[in-house]
Amino acid sequence: MKYVSDGPYRSYKIGDIQIAFKHVANKNISGMSPVTLLVVQGLMALGKDNIDEGIIKKIQRRLTENDRKVLSAETIRVPFWIRNAINLLVKNGENKA
C-alpha cells in the first residue's frame, strides 16, 4: 500500500503487508478537502500510466456535483498529469449530471 505524506519517505512491513509513505510537496496536499485528498492520493498511488477510462468512470460515479466543483478548484497546483485526470472527472460528471 502506498500513501502520500508531506513527511519523509518511509516504508514499513507489518506481517505480509508493505506500507510506503511517499513524500509530496506540501503545496500539493495542504488545504484540500478530504474528498480531494482521497482522489489525488488514489491517482498518485495508481500512477499516470495506470489511469484509464474505466478508472475515471469509477471515481466519477462516486462524486457529487459539489465534489466535482471543489475538486476542480482545489487541484490547481497538482502535477499536470493529475490535473488532466481531474479535468476528465469533472467533464464526465458534467455530462452525466
The tens place of each residue's pLDDT in the chain, 97 residues long, gives 666 677 777 888 889 988 888 777 766 667 888 899 889 888 988 899 999 999 999 999 999 999 999 999 999 888 899 999 999 999 865 555 4
Q: Please give the pLDDT value at position 32.
A: 86
- In the chain, domain spans: 2-96
Q: Please give the pLDDT value at position 21.
A: 80
Burial of 31 (0-12, 13-18, 19+ CB in 10 A): exposed
Answer yes or no: are the C-beta atoms of 60 and 34 closer than 8 Å.
no
How far, in Å, CA of 11 to CA of 20, rounded? Answer: 4
Answer yes or no: are the C-beta atoms of 19 and 11 closer than 8 Å.
yes
Q: Please give the pLDDT value at position 92.
A: 60
* Cβ-proximal residues to 14 (8 Å cutoff; 6+ apart), any chain: none
Q: Please give the pLDDT value at position 97.
A: 45
